Amino acid sequence: MNPFSFTRASDPTEALRLFTGNASYLGGGTNLVDLMRETVARPERLVDVTGLSDTIEETEDGGLLIGAAVRNTALAEHRMVRTRYPILSRAILAGASAQIRNMATVGGNLLQRTRCTYFYDTDGSRCNKRAPGSGCDAIEGFNRNHAILGASPACVATHPSDMCVALAALDATVHLTGAGGARSLPFTALHSLPGDHPDIDTVLDPGELITAIELPWLPFAATSTYRKVRDRASYAFALVSVAAALKLDQGRITDVRIALGGVAHRPWRALKAEAALRGAAPTEQVFRDAAIAELADARPLKDNGFKVELAKRTLVAVLVDLAGVAA
Amino acid sequence: MSIIINGSAAALPGDPRVSLLDFLREDLHLSGTKKGCNQGACGACTVLVDGQRILSCLALAVQFDGREVTTIEGVGHGNELHPLQQAFIEHDGFQCGYCTPGQICSAIGMAAEAQRGVPSHVSADLSADVILTREELQERMSGNLCRCGAHNGIIDAITMTVAADLAA
């Protein structure tokens, strides 16, 4: 690990002031400390932001405002999250291990880096995300875990978070503060597709700080879930995951939210599937057609063609389950 | 800057690169906490911070100023074993023993989570009281790997202590 200085911020203003030069904000450390040990990340200054807001409050319009320093476990176990947004509790509980969920913050979860093994292999592999312009060894390499949607010739990495898939489906908002003041972004606008600059994961400005996540009032999210398919029953990253919420009224789908994980460089909001479902009858054939529409643009690599059918089947299975509950 | 380890205060390391794990083992010579993968994949380094189980390999010691850490050396009372330690002996919950301190610290933290109603990935009802079935225990303990074959003994030991306590 390269040398760095360590400071602790007690509020966002102090955090911005302490963030100078080649710095990184530090949350629970579950990803950043590992990246630093592997010298993938080499910040010269760490600003500990775990002392910032760790509260979960109901907003005036009935949503929830979640401080960026809230630990993953605290969010998953929160009474209102469990009952109003089970999609979010379930996504968090499907990720990592209990020890890591106790450490990891909400803000840090959003900013974790891909687990592409070529990204981590500083000694032996080319990686445009780690060393821009060096090439990508995953494209012709062992790419069973990699992206099938939205990838580029520069990068086929996937976003590793489960929680973010639920946040994408829920139309969450990200609250930020930076040198230019405070601003808010739709959650789905936070993460980038790789394009020519896979070294850039998000649209955040340098030093810009995530202060909170806001969930909208969304009553039908009480009928929502998260399903994750992985190589072992627990403690593994997703091959494919589906976060979905479904609203039925008089035998029709009146509202629906879907996002996919494990398939792209960012949590993949499934707008095509949603459009195909709105107003339709909740039948398995309709679900299947919606899944086919969403995956029509999939471009599998050498080893991950199975993900296309897996994503379709998982999406159909989740919708069948939710339709059974919502009916 | 100081940290409380098993009830005693200790000065934090000057170099912020030192992990909580290395601080415990190298500086304080508390070698009960084990270094397995050193990258957050195996759980051998699990300790309790203010009662919550965490991975000490992914924790920078300087982040834990003023916090209370309990390691395997601190779970019993003097020569009296923690009930989980006794149960691990009775149920052959270890063979090589390398994952054992992490397993036991993790199980203590897991019991507290279950007690306060934290659901898990396999909980059918997110809001129901936790019943620590074998499936629940396996899911909740999945962050601690045993690679020498004692897994079933570990789950038996936890079932006989923690799960029995909760049911009582």
**What's the confidence (pLDDT) of residue B162?**
86
Which residues in chain A have Cβ-Cβ distances shorter than 8 Å to B18?
none
ipTM: 0.97
Length of chain B: 168
Same domain, A38 and A95: no
Residue A201 has a pLDDT of: 98
Q: For position A291, what pLDDT does the model report?
A: 98
* Residue carrying structure tokens 């039925």: A248
Hey, what amino acid is at B127? S
CB contact under 8 A, B142 and A1: no
> Do A67 and A203 fall within a single domain?
yes
Q: Looking at the complex, report in whole angstroms how far the Cα of residue A116 sits from the nearest Cα belonging to chain B.
A: 15
Which positions in chain A touch B127 (Cβ < 8 Å)?
Answer: 79, 82-83
Same domain for B57 and B13:
yes
How many domains is chain A built from?
A: 2
User: Between chains, do B120 and A4 touch, taking CB under 8 Å as contact?
Assistant: no
Q: Are residues A270 and A248 in the same domain?
A: yes
Residue B44 lies in domain: 2-74
Q: What is the CATH number of the domain that holds A26?
A: 3.30.43.10
CATH of the domain at A74: 3.30.465.10
Residue A121 and residue A201 in one domain: yes
Tell me what the mean pLDDT of segment B142-165 comes to.
91
| Structure-block tokens of residue A145 | 């875990």
> Can you give the CATH number for the domain in which B32 is found?
3.10.20.30
User: Domain boundary at B74, B108, B126, which?
Assistant: B74
- The reply to whether A162 and A310 lie within a common domain is yes
With 0-12 / 13-18 / 19 or more C-beta atoms within 10 angstroms meaning exposed / middle / buried, residue A131 is middle
Q: Answer yes or no: do B101 and B64 share one domain.
A: no
The pLDDT score that the predictor gives to residue B1 is 79
* A241 and A95 together in one domain: yes
Average pLDDT value for residue range B16-20: 98
Q: Which residue in B40, B120, B126 is closest to A30 by CB distance?
A: B40
- Is the domain of A72 the same as that of A200? yes
Over chain A (327 residues), the average pLDDT of each successive run of 10 is 97 98 98 98 98 97 98 98 98 98 98 98 97 98 98 98 98 97 98 98 98 98 98 96 98 98 98 98 98 98 98 98 87
Mark whether A113 and A239 lie in a shared domain: yes
User: Are A26 and B63 an interchain contact pair (Cβ–Cβ within 8 Å)?
Assistant: yes
What is the least distance, in Å, from the CA of A226 to any CA of chain B?
10
Residues B36 and B108 placed together within one structural domain of the fold:
no
- Cβ of A33 under 8 Å from any chain B Cβ? yes
Both B91 and B121 in one domain: the answer is yes
pLDDT of residue B166: 64
pLDDT at A186: 98
Smallest CA–CA distance, residue B82 to chain A, in Å, is 21
The structural domain count of chain B equals: 2
Residues A44 and A121 in one domain: no
Percentage with pLDDT > 90 across chain A: 99
Distance CA A327, CA A41 (A): 49
Nearest by CB to B60, from A33, A90, A94: name it. A33
Residue of A nearest to B111 (CA): A98
pLDDT score at A164: 98
Nearest-CA distance from A180 to chain B in Å? 29
**A42: containing domain:** 5-50
Q: How far is B69 from chain A (nearest CA, A)?
A: 14
Q: How confident is the model at residue B167 (pLDDT cuts 50, 70, 90)?
A: low
Residues A32 and A64 in one domain: no
Domain match, A186 and A42 both: no
Cα separation values, B76 from B82, B83, B87, B107, Å: 4, 8, 13, 14
The residue in chain B having the minimum alpha-carbon distance to the alpha carbon of residue A26 is B63
**Residues A11, A158 share a domain:** no
CA dihedral over A211, A214, A167, A269, signed as positive or negative: negative
Q: What is the DSSP string of A202-260?
A: BSPPTT-EEEEEEEPP-GGGGSEEEEEE-SSSSSS--SEEEEEEEEEETTEEEEEEEEE
3-class state of residue A119 by DSSP: helix
Where a domain ends, among B46, B74, B102? B74
| pLDDT digits 0-9 by tens, B46-62 | 999 999 999 999 999 99
Q: What tens digit of pLDDT does each residue of B21-33 get?
A: 999 999 999 999 9
Q: Which residue of A has its CA nearest to B13?
A: A6
Residue B168 has a pLDDT of 56
B87: Cα within 13 Å, side-chain hemisphere: 21
* pTM of this structure: 0.98
Does residue B87 sit in the same domain as residue B44?
A: no
Do B34 and B106 lie in one domain? The reply is no
Last residue of a domain, one of B24, B56, B74: B74
Residue A27: list chain B partners with CB under 8 A.
Answer: none
